[in-house]
Each structure stands twice: as C-alpha cells, then as structure tokens.
Chain A
C-alpha cells in the first residue's frame, strides 16, 4: 500500500499541498491545534458580537472613534500580518521540496513581521495616550483596547511558536516527510491573521 501511495504521490516532494496524501482531505496539522483554533475564533466571535451590540447603543462614539485612531498604524500592522502569513506559506512550500534552510529563512521573515507588528502596536498605544485616548475614554475605545490587546497577546505567543518551529527545522524534527507539527503551527498563525482581517475594518475603517 505504501509503495502504491508513494508512486501515486511524490511524497511531500513538489511544494504543493494537493500532493501530500497525509494532508489532502484530512485535518491539516493535528486535531489539537484545530480545537485551539476554533476556541480562539469563538472568543473573537464573542468580541465581535459585543461590538455589534455596543455600536447599536452608542452610535456616535462608534462613528467618531475610528476617526481619532491612527489608520497608518492599523494599515502597517495589516501589511505585517498578511506578509507574515505569506512567509509562513512559503516556508511550508520550501520544506515540501526538502529545502529546510529556505524554510527557516521564510520563518525568520514571518517572525520579523510578528516583531514589527508588536513594535507598531506599542508605538500606537503610546500615540493614543498622547492624543488622550485611554481605555476608559468611551465604550468604543474600551472595546478597541480589549480587542487589540487580546490580539496582540495572540501574535506574541504565535511568534513564539514560529521560533519553536525554526528550532524544530534546525534540529531535524520537521523534515520533508514529516512536518505535521509545522503545518499545525502554520494553521495557528494564519488564524491569528484571519482574526485581524475582521478586527482591522471594524475598528479603523467602518463608522
């Protein structure tokens, strides 16, 4: 059976997920990471529902709030997260063609993007305080700080997991034929990016 499978699919050897028999139509990574991903998305869903209700009750605060925020910081953070997701996807493609060195380089780039995100966020919070925007200024800013700080924590520990994956690649724990752990970490990172895809327009764009 193994021989047939390996002859039908060049096992992890072409950089494409659709040629990975252990991944196609299966749970990417492992079950545990998907329990975590759905739990996190449920948490963010709660925030979004609270946002809808608060916006309905305080329309003026939610209309004026985004105008006072630093759109440049929000946009740069979106660029950083989208780029990091792209780098993680490239890293996975590289390990599939048995190029761990390249895979590590892409992961470092993703970690750099995570660090840039954290630096911009800290700068943005300082900028907010200088403008007089505090956690208790009004309901919009309370939600803004709650959502963005929560997301920042996720970026922090997900960056840590990327560094863990780099050490996994360096030590040979993740290889061309066995990199389900790396796939799981990549899925988690993409989930953090997906949450921001909703948070950014809610807080910075929509009024």
Chain B
C-alpha cells in the first residue's frame, strides 16, 4: 500500500517536472521570437539571448535528458558545452573587430 502510494507520488512528481520544463522552454522560445521580430541589435540583447541559450540547454539536459543523475564526466562536458558556447557568442559579439583582425588571412 505504502509502496504503491510512494510510486504514484513519484510519478506525479516526475510528470510535474517534465510539464513545467516543457512550458518554460516554449515560453522562452516565444520570447526569443519576439526579440527576433522587434528588438534592435545591442550587447544587452545578445547577453539576454546567451543566458536563455544556457538556461534552455541546462533545462533540457537536466530534466529531459536526465543528466542531473548521470555520470559526472558526461555531466561536466555537456554542461560545459552550454556554458562555453553562450559565452563565446557574447565574446564574439563584444570583440568582433579583434576577432576579425586575428583571423584575417
């Protein structure tokens, strides 16, 4: 009896987390689309978008991919990818001229 109730509670908990994650990801995507249609180019907008990429990536990895309970090395590399690339997007925007200079042939 206790075991069954425990299982049902855990199932509800799981479904709730997944549902909330899905709704959050859809809303962030909608906000991104709004930015694409209305906002002008600025470093602040770039920073917000980079943050949204990092957040969406982490949410998918932790709750859909279930990496928050997985092997630590895989966690490290996957989470690292979604910290490094949003940061690189921002830095490439911030230092576009030096980047063009050092990559000129």
Interface residues of B in 60-99 (CB under 8 A from A): 60-61, 63-67, 69-72, 74, 77, 81-82, 85, 88-89, 92-93, 96-97, 99
**In the complex, which range does the number of interface residues on chain A fall in?**
35 or more
Chain B residues with Cβ below 8 Å from A61 are none
Apart from A15-B10, A83-B22: 12 A-B pairs, beta carbons within 8 A: A16-B14, A25-B72, A28-B67, A48-B85, A82-B22, A86-B21, A97-B7, A187-B65, A190-B60, A193-B60, A205-B49, A206-B45
Chain A binding site: helix, strand, loop or mixed by DSSP? helix
Binding site for A on B (CB under 8 A): 3, 6-7, 10-11, 13-15, 18, 21-22, 25-26, 29-30, 32-33, 35-37, 41, 45-46, 49, 52-53, 56-57, 60-61, 63-67, 69-72, 74, 77, 81-82, 85, 88-89, 92-93, 96-97, 99-100, 103-104
Chain B residues with Cβ below 8 Å from A48 are 85, 88-89
Q: In whole Å, how far is A63's beta carbon from the nearest beta carbon of chain B? A: 6
Judge whether A19 and B10 touch: CB under 8 Å: yes
A183–B22 Cα gap in the complex (Å)? Answer: 19
Judge whether A89 and B13 touch: CB under 8 Å: no
Of the residues A26, A38, A204, contact of B36 by C-beta under 8 Å: A204
Chain B residues with Cβ below 8 Å from A10 are 3, 7
Asked whether A14 is an interface residue with its Cβ less than 8 Å from the other chain, the reply is yes
Of the residues A56, A63, A89, contact of B99 by C-beta under 8 Å: A56
A200–B53 Cα gap in the complex (Å)? Answer: 10
Of the residues B61, B65, B69, contact of A24 by C-beta under 8 Å: B69
Judge whether B72 and A59 touch: CB under 8 Å: no
